[in-house]
């Protein structure tokens, strides 16, 4: 029956209360830092840069007081896909596609299969990037209540309001989605139990049997969507009854405050990001 | 005349009006709700009670006839927001009306929409949460609360808009008995404090708490009066397929068996206990009869 706890494996997006420096940072500062570091990650393909960035991410995770194990346990459901993708990259991406100062060594060439040291580097760098991004996303969401993240995003998008970006609405949609995650998860569990009690084979597929799992999920997804639509209708009526008339003229209970420590954190990360991007071709290996 | 809060004049309403498959729901309803009143609207499924309730705050607009809230016509879009601020509404399922991810953020949703600035906003939230007795739980996410607590959050969310009237649209029908009692206690306290209450319900025990009951059937007012007047019309109630509250049923059964008449008819547990007590033979000295 443990398979019914479907959201158990998802570690991104679970707020873990704490009192570290990272927890106390302004959500806007955290979003900025994560964006900057993600940018640095995506343009660096050398081994050394990725080792440094991985070390940096591990340092951040320590500073936030989250266990690396917890973050990585979230990868488990995606593991089959990651392995399949890595194997395909290794087998078919032999042509030098990463900028590297290392000589390209061909390991195997047989029909369409073409394995080189450059392909291997692509695979390893991709894996490191994946872990880095997981860590950054986890740091953002595990240390910030998600509603505050939405408010941070709203405040950051507000200057673009004149260009027609509906910051208030985007943030409200995000918050409503969050609000309904536990409700729909509970509904999904109820549905799963109802279908299982009528003989459906839910949770029997196992991690490596995608087709069976997917088919078993179908009998849950369709009623879940119907339920979500019904809830959405009721929610709209309830919001209208509480005078909701779009984002214009709304005020907000939660006000965010940026401190000097937030500024310093942004500055350091901005310098690091610029450095990594500027010198991306200068790393020795 | 200014003590009249809501005035309904010959209200007709049909879903999908004007189309061949129109479904008439209300067929000529006229009523007034006075300021500070506690009115229950009852009727079995499909009688039009929820449809009527949604006309009080302009969620639905009349097909024919008029609804006025403080002399504002609900069909005039310029008044819509004012009317919704004055007439707050609590719905059946607490899950589908709570917007915020934390209790206090949800309660703030209404006044945020009205553009109430800080610090008045925070004060309103505190006052509303105190009124429903949930101030201590303001930092909790709503899904970790009990059904009764969640429905009280929904009530607080409406109170934060400082409405004159609270419409409860079957607000207790999804709750367990303990939670229902909890919510009703809050409602009674609000009424004592001066809020007008309109309770849509199919629990007759709940309707008995009101000062006036309006019974709907087939989209029309079938019966209207104080709980005493309504629940003593046994034949009419049977025609309308409504069952009086349990204490009234017990009293009537005793009446039929023993010939002892209860007047007035006890409608609540307390009233029944008092009425029976008045007829009871005192225990002989020493305890056992």
Chain B: give the shortest CA distance to residue A280, in Å: 42
Edge-to-edge strand order for the sheet containing B23-34?
B23-34, B4-15, B64-69, B72-73
What is the complex's ipTM, to 2 decimals?
0.85
pLDDT at A1 over 50: no
* Residue A246 binned pLDDT confidence (cut-offs 50, 70, 90): confident
pLDDT at A202 over 80: no
* HEC profile of A61-73: HHHHCCCHHHHHH
Which tokens is B183 given? 């919510």
Please give the helix or strand (H or E) that residue B43 lies within, else none: none
Residue labelled with tokens 């690091």: A272
Q: Are strands B64-69 and B72-73 parallel, antiparallel or unpaired?
A: antiparallel
CB A44 within 8 A of CB A278: no
Which tokens is B25 given? 């729901």
**Rounded to the nearest 5 degrees, what angle is found at the Cα of A190, between the Cα atoms of A189 and A192?**
60
- Give the dihedral of Cα atoms B98, B101, B105, B111; nearest 10 deg: -40
Residues whose CB falls within 8 Å of the CB of residue B21, separated by 6 or more in sequence, listed in order? none
Q: Evaluate if pTM is beyond 0.90.
A: no
Taking alpha carbons only, the member of A41, A57, A38, A59 closest to residue A49 is A41
- CB-closest option in B102, B113, B122 to A243: B113
Taking alpha carbons only, the member of A234, A249, A283 closest to residue B95 is A234
Query: Within a 13 Å sphere around the CA of A177, how many CA atoms are in the beta-carbon half?
Result: 9
- Supply the pLDDT for residue A57: 92
Euclidean distance between CA atoms A51 and A67, whole angstroms: 19
- Supply the pLDDT for residue A147: 82
Q: Can you state the percent helix, strand and coil of chain B, rounding each to 5?
A: 40, 20, 35
Residues of chain B neighbouring A239 (CB-CB closer than 8 A): 99, 109
Which tokens is B155 given? 């009530």
Least confident window among A259-263, B221-225, B268-272:
B268-272
Q: What is the pLDDT of residues B122-154, one digit of tens each?
A: 999 999 999 999 999 998 888 889 989 999 999
Residue labelled with tokens 């610090």: B119
Euclidean distance between CA atoms B126 and B281, whole angstroms: 51
CB B40 within 8 A of CB B206: yes
- CB-closest option in A176, A182, A253 to B143: A182
Percent of chain B with pLDDT over 90: 61
Q: What is the pLDDT of residues B158-186, one digit of tens each?
A: 999 999 999 999 999 888 888 899 899 99
- Supply the pLDDT for residue A209: 67
A140 Cα distance to chain centroid: 9
With an 8 Å Cβ cutoff, are A175 and B84 in contact?
Answer: no
- Supply the pLDDT for residue B59: 94
Euclidean distance between CA atoms B147 and B54, whole angstroms: 23
pLDDT at A208 over 70: no
The DSSP bridge partners found for residue B42 are B215
For an interface test with A, the pick among B77, B99, B162 (most A C-beta atoms closer than 10 Å) comes out as B99
Which tokens is B133 given? 């007795």
Euclidean distance between CA atoms A136 and A149, whole angstroms: 14
Q: What is the pLDDT of residues A258-284, one digit of tens each?
A: 889 999 999 999 999 999 999 888 888
Q: What is the pLDDT of residues B64-93, one digit of tens each?
A: 999 999 999 999 999 999 999 999 999 999
The DSSP bridge partners found for residue A108 are A115
Q: Does B174 touch chain A (CB under 8 A)?
A: no
Inter-chain contacts counted by CB atoms under 8 A, chains A and B:
91
B221 Cα distance to chain centroid: 17
Residues of chain B neighbouring A178 (CB-CB closer than 8 A): 101
Q: Can you state the percent helix, strand and coil of chain A, rounding each to 5?
A: 65, 5, 30
Residue with the bigger pLDDT between B214 and A199: it is B214
- Mean pLDDT, residues A163-172: 87
Which tokens is A131 given? 């872990």
Residues whose CB falls within 8 Å of the CB of residue B134, separated by 6 or more in sequence, listed in order? B103, B149, B152, B153, B156
């Amino acid at each position: 029956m443990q398979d019914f706890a479907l959201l158990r494996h998802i570690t991104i997006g679970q707020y873990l209360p704490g009192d570290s420096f990272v927890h106390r940072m302004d959500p806007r500062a955290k979003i900025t830092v994560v964006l900057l570091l993600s940018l640095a990650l995506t343009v660096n393909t050398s081994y050394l840069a990725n080792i440094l960035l991985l070390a940096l991410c591990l340092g951040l995770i320590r500073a936030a007081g989250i266990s690396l194990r917890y973050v990585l346990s979230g990868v488990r459901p995606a593991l089959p896909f990651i392995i399949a993708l890595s194997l395909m990259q290794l087998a078919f991406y032999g042509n030098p596609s990463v900028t590297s100062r290392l000589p390209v060594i061909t390991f195997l060439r047989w029909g369409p299969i073409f394995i080189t040291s450059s392909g291997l580097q692509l695979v390893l760098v991709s894996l490191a990037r994946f872990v880095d991004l997981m860590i950054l996303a986890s740091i953002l969401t595990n240390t910030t209540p998600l509603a505050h993240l939405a408010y941070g995003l709203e405040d950051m998008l507000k200057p673009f309001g004149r260009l027609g970006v509906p910051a208030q609405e985007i943030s409200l949609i995000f918050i409503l989605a969050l609000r309904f995650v536990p409700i729909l998860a509970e509904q999904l569990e109820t549905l799963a139990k109802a279908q299982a009690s009528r003989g459906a084979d839910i949770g029997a597929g196992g991690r490596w049997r995608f087709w069976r799992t997917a088919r078993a999920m179908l009998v849950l997804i369709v009623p879940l969507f119907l339920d979500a639509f019904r809830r959405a209708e009721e929610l709209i009526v309830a919001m209208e009854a509480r005078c909701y008339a779009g984002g214009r003229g709304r005020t907000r209970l939660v006000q965010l405050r940026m401190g000097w420590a937030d500024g310093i954190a942004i500055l350091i990360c901005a310098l690091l990001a610029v450095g990594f991007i500027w010198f991306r071709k200068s790393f020795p290996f | 005349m200014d003590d009249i809060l809501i005035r309904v004049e010959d209200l007709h309403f049909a879903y999908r009006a004007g189309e061949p498959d129109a479904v008439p729901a209300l067929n000529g309803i006229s009523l007034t709700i006075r300021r500070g009143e506690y009115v229950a609207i009852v009727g079995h499924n499909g009688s039009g009670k929820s449809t009527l309730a949604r006309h009080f705050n302009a969620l639905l607009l009349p097909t024919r006839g008029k609804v006025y809230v403080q002399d504002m016509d609900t069909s005039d879009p310029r008044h819509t927001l004012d009317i919704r601020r004055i007439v707050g509404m609590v719905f059946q399922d607490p899950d589908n009306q709570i917007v915020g991810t934390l209790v206090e953020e949800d309660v703030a949703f209404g006044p945020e929409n009205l553009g109430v600035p800080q610090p008045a906003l925070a004060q309103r939230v505190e006052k509303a949460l105190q009124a429903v007795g949930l101030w201590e739980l303001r930092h909790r996410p709503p899904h970790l609360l009990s059904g009764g607590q969640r429905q009280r959050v929904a009530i607080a969310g409406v109170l934060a808009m400082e409405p004159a009237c609270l419409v409860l649209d079957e607000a207790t029908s999804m709750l367990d008995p303990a939670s229902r009692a909890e919510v009703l206690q809050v409602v009674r306290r609000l009424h004592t404090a001066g809020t007008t209450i309109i309770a849509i319900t199919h629990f007759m025990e709940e309707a008995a708490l009101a000062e006036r009951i309006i019974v709907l059937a087939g989209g029309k007012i079938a019966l209207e009066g104080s709980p005493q007047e309504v629940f003593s019309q046994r034949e009419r109630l049977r025609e309308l397929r409504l069952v009086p509250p349990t204490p009234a049923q017990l009293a009537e059964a005793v009446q039929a068996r023993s010939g002892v008449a209860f007047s007035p008819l006890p409608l609540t547990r307390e009233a029944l206990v008092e009425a029976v007590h008045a007829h009871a033979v005192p225990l002989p000295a020493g305890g056992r009869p």
